[in-house]
Amino acid sequence: MFSQERSFTDWQFTGFGNAPAYLFETIESTHKLMKEMARTGEISPGTLFVADSQSNGHGRHERTWDSPAGKNLYFNILVPLDNIPANRFAQITQVAALTFAESFNGLLEAAVNENKDSANLTSGKRADYADKNSETISKITVKWPNDILYGKSKFCGILAEVVYTRWQSPEPGTSPGEAQPEMAREKAPRPTLNMGVGINVNSEPEDYVHLNRNVTTLKAIVGKTINREKLLQQLVGNLERAIGQFRAFGIRPWIAAWKRMDQFIGARGTIVVNNRCTDQNHASGEGAIKKTGTIIDMQDDGSLLFQCDDGKIETVLSADLEI
């Protein structure tokens, strides 16, 4: 994972179920393009888009996601929603965040172990290093519902929305580009999840000072330059397996994992409801309802149990959490 990566144009991927993967050296936004192509049926569920840079990357509520070239990961995957009830669609982003966080913790642990075994550390220093970093490893966690943080600094964001696609699998005996029978073309659009992921990998925290937010990078966390191709291959594979398990078992196993890594239960926080804050009005909170209180728990359905300062306990299904 810490080997030198090859040229971006030589990267090799497939999407879910061996669906196609497309590489873009530069693009406005992988999320916007996937949304457009999914709606028109030009790409199949499972398709993966990967960009080396974006000119207009964004997160929730059109907030800027800086996308410099050659440093980070920006990708979208069109997640099939077959056999998943509509009331569980939103849980998939939580499953993704928890799956990625576990992968990042494994990456950090590998870096720590590699440094422990390096020849320039004496036996005593190895023990000190291990003790020091055993706490560090636990600092990568998921801030409800799906931001991945190191301490309180964000380095991975997920943006997902349901898109109804007109893609129809080719009928038996026909090729993908061949015209389909009328009956196939008339089938109702099916839901898919357009999941966009941005990860600050090999950039530096100083690159994001202008955003006035707590931001870090994987390189800063693990102390090593990371092979982005290998990391993305691992993340896509882990996510595909996780969604298969989610279909079978629901979100409960991931809630248990979240509680093991959580730093926030019992902490103070602010729930931002009906949040439409952009980069321009984020500080003022214009158009949003803010409720300050204490995070009590994350429930088995992925919702947050939150006690407001007025004593009222609320179940929060969808909102932003500020800590």
What would the pLDDT profile of 70-100 be if each residue is shown by its tens digit? 999 999 999 999 999 999 999 999 999 999 9
Predicted confidence at residue 214, as pLDDT, reads: 87
Domain endpoint, select from 243, 258, 273: 258
**CATH number for the domain that contains residue 86:** 3.30.930.10
Q: Are residues 192 and 276 in the same domain?
A: no
Q: Which of 106-115, 137-146, 213-222, 228-237 has the highest mean pLDDT?
A: 228-237
Q: Does pLDDT of 60 surpass 80?
A: no
In a domain? residue 58: yes
Q: Are residues 87 and 133 in the same domain?
A: yes
Closest CA to 66 of 194, 217, 231, 272: 217
Q: Does pLDDT of 8 surpass 90?
A: yes
Average pLDDT over residues 122-134: 43
Q: Which of 115-119, 244-248, 285-289 has the highest mean pLDDT?
A: 244-248
Predicted confidence at residue 124, as pLDDT, reads: 47
**β-pairing verdict for 153-165 and 313-316:** unpaired
In a domain? residue 173: yes
Candidate from 27-31, 123-127, 147-151, 167-171 with smallest mean pLDDT: 123-127
In a domain? residue 133: yes
Average pLDDT over residues 31-37: 96
Candidate from 62-66, 75-79, 140-144 with smallest mean pLDDT: 62-66
Contact between residue 143 and residue 94 where contact means Cβ atoms under 8 Å apart: no
In a domain? residue 66: yes
Q: Are residues 119 and 239 in the same domain?
A: yes
Q: Are residues 108 and 207 in the same domain?
A: yes
Q: Does pLDDT of 186 surpass 80?
A: no
Q: Does pLDDT of 190 surpass 60?
A: yes
In angstroms, the CA 21 to CA 50 distance is 8
Mean residue pLDDT across the chain: 84
Tell me the pLDDT band of 273, cut-offs 50, 70 and 90: confident
Residue-by-residue DSSP string for 146-196? TEEEETTEEEEEEEEEEEEE---PPPTTS-TTSPPPHHHHTSPPEEEEEEE
Q: Are residues 250 and 315 in the same domain?
A: no
Q: Are residues 92 and 188 in the same domain?
A: yes
Candidate from 50-59, 90-99, 129-138 with smallest mean pLDDT: 129-138
Q: What percent of the chain has pLDDT over 70?
A: 80
